[in-house]
Amino acid sequence: MTTKLSAATLPAITTAATPAYDRTTLTPGIVHFGVGNFHRAHQAVYLDDLFALGEDHDWAIIGAGVRDADEAMRQKLEAQDWLTTVVEQEADTSSARITGAMIDYLRPGDTEAIIARLADPATRIVSLTITEGGYYIDPASQKVDVDHPDLVWDAEHLDAPRTVFGLILAGLMRRREKGIIPFTVMSCDNIPGNGDVTRNATVLLANKAQMLLGDWVRNNVAFPNGMVDRITPATSERERNLLSENFGIDDNWPVFCESFRQWVLEDHFPAGRPALEKVGVQFVEDVSPYEHMKIRILNGGHATIAYPAGLMDIHFVHEAMEHPLIAAFLRKIEDDEIIPVVPPVPDTNLHDYRALCERRFANPKIGDTIRRLALDGSNRQPKFIIPSALDRVKMGASVTGLALVSALWCRYCYGTTESGTTIEPNDPSWDRLTAQAKLAKDKPDIWLQMTDIYGELANLSPFSSAFTHALETLWSIGTEATLERYLADRL
């Protein structure tokens, strides 16, 4: 027998921890764009913990979205009074909790309601998890593409913006007109300098919309950088069934995740903030060493295992870590090529951090998929792999392994696994990538001609030569044999 999740049924649920506070006392302080699994397993959990201490009940979350697809999530959560079941899983343990930090979700497309909420003095933080692709970043330059049609529209129609940045700017302008202090904009996305990137996008849009408006944004609005971390797979019927079978809870969109979580944040919140340091958030003066470590080692590690595993028809991440060649491939690249170009991090041993990442990847309960790790390589490779390769080339060091990672991505984008199984589209630019990968089978350098992705690295011969040799080897002898050669230092 299962219990349908709602505020009314919370007293009947005994298999999961429930909010240890009166949700009727909560008032909103945060508007969050991008109410996906990661947000509900991360920021919302930290706030749930804080509210349970009896602290800061005026910092509840109101969700918001700009995509038509966001409406499905809004309806699912509305049906259960904005509650979410979060299931934390390790190899030998599994526990569930129900979080209640969200108290409303504005309807996507209701522009006036969203701007009005942003302009409300109670809104002191606007947070974002809109994925790497949501920032309109040119992959090669890593700068905001201010000429993107969406941003061009917003610059000309700030009364009816279509992007998060247009809505943020419209909200800030309305606050300025009313003499209300600006809210803080807090990106929780997994991109280097996420606060800086968000500031740049907002400032560039402001400048395009109105002369000197960008200067006002730059001088008056805070955009703290932050590093966030928690492995959170997509929800499928598998997770819904596991929740029902193991905990007797019927949740429209539960979140399954690992027990590990981390949040390092620059303490720059002029309009105030919740006391998140009381629940484990680490506030620092400069977050860049932490995010550099995480993006290069953890996310770079994900990219390293994703494509060989995908080509070998491996479905789950923990299954990839059980494959001796893939596990050894990951460790060798991390130790030989990635960690040596990661700057020191306060009170952190980088090899210990790498070992922690390996244990997290190997968690058999999470059900994280190789397909998720391989998603959106055209946005992720320029952030997670290419910068490490560029650093190594510039210091005259070997890039054999990192070039092989890039070659494996190219081979994956060809669109078939080693067994001949079709790889379904897994990137916003899939058609382009597939066409390029087919040409690169005979002429590998064609792949590197995507300079919007590879930037200056494409024309540096140490990398291009290593990439060409790696791709030719993959097509000649296959993925497993190529990994064996690399591990034996014969590639």
Tens of pLDDT, residue by residue, the chain (491 residues) = 899 999 999 999 999 999 999 999 999 999 999 999 999 999 999 999 999 999 999 999 999 999 888 999 999 999 999 999 999 999 889 999 999 999 999 999 999 999 999 999 999 999 999 988 899 887 667 678 888 999 999 999 998 999 999 999 999 999 999 999 999 999 999 888 999 999 999 999 999 998 889 999 999 999 999 999 999 999 999 999 999 999 999 999 999 999 999 999 999 999 999 999 999 999 999 999 999 999 999 999 999 999 999 999 999 999 999 999 999 999 999 999 999 999 999 989 999 999 999 999 999 988 899 999 999 999 899 999 999 999 999 999 999 999 999 999 999 999 999 999 999 999 999 999 999 999 999 999 999 999 999 999 999 999 999 999 999 999 999 999 999 999 999 99
- Cβ contact 281:227 at 8 Å: no
For residues 302 and 222, give the distance between their C-alpha atoms in angstroms, rounded to a whole number.
31
Amino acid at 316: F
The fold of 3-284 is Rossmann fold (3.40.50)
Q: Using CA atoms, how far apart are residues 140 and 429, in angstroms rounded to an integer?
A: 15
Strands 184-187 and 125-128, how do they pair?
A: parallel
| HSE-CB of 55 using CA atoms within 13 angstroms | 13
Q: Which two tokens stand for residue 418?
A: 């080693």
**Cα–Cα distance, 371 to 310 (Å, whole number):** 7
Q: CATH class for domain 288-487?
A: mainly alpha
Three-state DSSP state, 407? helix
Q: Which helix (H) or strand (E) holds 263?
A: strand 262-266
Sign of CA dihedral 196, 197, 201, 202: negative
Query: Tokens 């299962």 identify what position?
Result: 2
pLDDT of 132 reads: 82
- Mean of the per-residue pLDDT values for the chain? 96
C-alpha closest to that of 76 among 131, 37, 20, 134: 37
What are the strands of the beta sheet with 84-89, ordered from one edge?
94-99, 84-89, 255-257
By C-alpha distance, which of 232, 379, 409 is closest to 310? Answer: 409
Cβ proximity of 225 and 295 under 8 Å: no
Coil, helix or strand at residue 104:
strand
pLDDT value of position 10: 97
Task: Write down the pLDDT at residue 140.
Answer: 64
The residues, ordered by sequence, that sit 6+ positions from 291 with a Cβ below 8 Å of its Cβ are: 192, 193, 194, 225, 226, 227, 264
4 forms beta bridges with: 250
Amino acid letter for position 181: I
- CB atoms inside a 10 Å sphere around CB 444: 21
Alpha-carbon span 360 to 364, nearest angstrom:
9
Which residues in the chain are classed under CATH 1.10.1040.10? 288-487
Buried b / exposed e over 39-51, threshold 16 CB at 10 Å, is bbbbbbbbbbbbb
Residues 6+ apart with CB under 8 A from 393: 399, 457, 460, 462, 463
Domain with CATH 3.40.50.720 in the chain: 3-284
- pLDDT for residue 1: 84
Q: In this structure, what DSSP letter does residue 339 have?
A: G
* DSSP designation for 346: T
What's the rounded Cα separation, in Å, for the pair 489 and 491? Answer: 6
Which single residue is written with the structure tokens 């955009």? 223
148 closest CA partner among 159, 133, 160: 133
Q: Report which of 465, 457, 461 is spatially closest to residue 139, judged by C-alpha positions.
A: 457
Q: How far apart are CA 242 and CA 251, in angstroms?
A: 11
| Of 413, 459, 452, 412, the residue nearest 436 (C-alpha) | 413
Q: Nearest Cα to 316, choosing from 371, 266, 369?
A: 369
